[in-house]
Chain A
Amino acid sequence: MRFLLGLLFFVAASQAGAQLSIEITGPGVQRTPIAVVPFAGEGTVGTSLTAIVRADLERSGLFRGLEVPPLAPHPNENSPVNYGEWRSRLADALVVGSVAQNPDGRFEVRFRLYDIVKQAPLGAIAYLFTKDNARAAAHRIADFVYEKLTGEKGVFSTQIAYVVKRGNTYELQIADADGERAQYLLRSNEPIISPVWSPEGRRIAYVSFESKKPIVYVHHLSENKRQVVASFKGSNSAPAWSPDGKTIAVVLSVEGGSQIYLINADGSGPRRRISNSASIDTEPRYSTDGKWIYFTSDRGGSPQIYRMSAIGGEPQRITFKGSYNVSPRPSPDGRILAYVTRDGGKFQVALLDLSNQQVQVITDSDRDESPSFAPNGRMILLATVRGGRGVLSAVSSDGRIRQNLPYSGGDVREPAWGPFIE
């Protein structure tokens, strides 16, 4: 096991400069109107919590934030709610709350959520946070509201990773799911591809070409260190974490060709080969239950998606339609497979319903790559090209909500959506 503490990288070292912003496009859905009343006293935080909560909810494509006029008296979480009045303002839901500073300098936010249509309180909660973590607190509030109103967990507190190319400089960055608070983990003069989050969200595996060949590293986010985990003769690429975070599937050419192997995530022990073909076998991904590995293979003459038992075994073919189906990504609930399909020169993200084999192309761009499910399965982050520039985009898994994530600082690619953080 080797730890490399090079000059190339800094963990949590500096803000990454230009940031992602998000625009919603696409046909959309019926959006629930919600009134997020500015919290009493939130001006003392220096960051408008409720503006972030509203932006989060709107970005999901499922909510429309209502303009709230100045109210007197200004309501907080303890005020009685006049359901009729909020109904007349066309609100289906209401968030009210307040912020107070504790003697230790930390802030405490308390808020309450109401269903205006059913005239019922949906819950209340309080969070304690420092000024530096105001955005994180707002994302927690948005997650609470989202989960109460939709029944599924919110992803506003999660992070994303992606690679920015600026001239001949490559940066592996992580940011909040809204594109804010970006920072870089690794800056290099050689390409970086295929970042993947470990299941607990504290490590990222990726492929770096800094040694003039692809080598797989694991970066420990909070410990300011990274580690070579696969540096065999030939190419080392396409890392994928097992759901327990102990094993990484990688693609090695050490025995010729591109074949799938398992290695220990700490780089210890021998490699174990699990694919056995004279063809290309690459892009492994574990199913959420850890039983299967989906992968891309050209054993049938064209690249198609297959799956095999996660300990190896006879593969079965999964995709049949089209002559180029790559980059399999099983959904968190295991029911859907996202992948990239080529049709008439266009590369687009398709979803395969694994229960009935229905295929649906869900993007309208033509150079899509690297789809990545949000941990709740609702959205898929992907890389595409607009106006000659690499950009990130997101699409809901029903195809109805699309978001562009414009970035001013270079070409953005290789997105990876991180897991839920408790």
Chain B
Amino acid sequence: MRAIIIVTALLLAAGCQTTPEDQAAAGVEDRSKPGAGKPGAQVQPVERPKVAAVDLTAGRVDPASALKDPASILSKRSIYYDYDKFDVRDEYRGLVEAHAKYLRENPKARMLIQGNTDERGSREYNVSLGQRRSDGVKRMLILLGAREDQIESVSLGEEKPQADGQNEGSWSKNRRSDVLYSGEY
């Protein structure tokens, strides 16, 4: 139920944003029409401004369910890193771009990015290394058009591993950033 309300709000917000552009376009009419430039003449728009239409039926993807839809890249939430590396590898660029687009199109959406490290070394230093990872994702999202206040980047350090083994196979799963949307944390 709560999800539906949020979806509706997001759609309405998205719709409202398109309205001013359409109005501006309508207002710039049209010096080439007959009567343009004559003293006292008002140029009337010949077309009515478009309204912001919300069509919930015509095969549009519900943005909130896209976050969970396994077929959508938005359901992909983890970015993995090489040892002692903090930059987002090229293979995750599409994922970050998709989430940036989602944040742009859903101004009310809020995101938590949790950076994580493998277990080696100091717990507190690893909190800082995880922070460097989540900060990097946040910066990238902002460069791609998301707003700073939509995103909180934090670190869980080495405390929440996905895999428990003491080998590179496990460690590579633990060096990651996880993306969560409000309602998921």
Contacts and interface: CB of A to CB of B under 8 A. Distances in A.
A216 to B, nearest CB: 12
Interface in A298-339: 303, 324, 326-327
Given A212-B114, A251-B128, A235 B123 contact: no
Nearest to A234: B154
A296 interface: yes
Q: Counting chain A CB atoms within 10 Å of each CB, which of B124, B129, B132 scores highest?
A: B124
A235 B154 contact: yes
A296 B127 CA distance: 12
B155 A280 contact: no
B155 A283 contact: no
Contacts of B122: 283, 296, 303, 326-327, 340, 369-370
B114 A342 contact: no
Contact of A234 (B120, B125, B153, B157): B153
Interface of A: 191, 193-194, 207, 209, 212-214, 233-235, 237-238, 251, 253, 256-258, 280, 282-283, 296, 303, 324, 326-327, 340, 342, 347, 369-370, 414
B125 A303 contact: yes
29 contacts: A191-B156, A191-B159, A191-B160, A193-B124, A193-B127, A193-B159, A212-B154, A213-B152, A213-B154, A233-B152, A234-B131, A234-B152, A234-B153, A235-B127, A235-B155, A237-B157, A238-B127, A253-B153, A253-B154, A256-B135, A257-B132, A280-B131, A296-B122, A303-B122, A326-B121, A326-B122, A327-B122, A342-B121, A370-B122
B140 interface: no
Contacts of A253: 131, 135, 153-155
Give the size range of B's interface with the partner: 20 to 34
Interface string B147-171: 0000011111101100000000000
A303 to B, nearest CB: 6
A97 B127 CA distance: 53
A193 B132 contact: no
Nearest to B119: A367
B123 A370 contact: yes
Contacts of B152: 213, 233-234
B132 A194 contact: no
Interface in B109-137: 112, 114, 120-125, 127-129, 131-132, 135
Nearest to B155: A235
A324 B121 contact: yes
A258 B131 contact: yes
Contacts of A327: 122, 124-125
B124 A213 contact: no
B125 A326 contact: yes
A390 B112 CA distance: 30
A209 B135 contact: no
Contacts of A234: 131, 152-154
Contacts of A326: 121-122, 124-125
Contact of B131 (A235, A324, A369): A235
Contacts of B180: 212
Contact of A213 (B114, B121, B123, B129): B114
Nearest to A258: B128
A43 to B, nearest CB: 46
Contact of A214 (B132, B155, B185): B155
Nearest to A347: B121
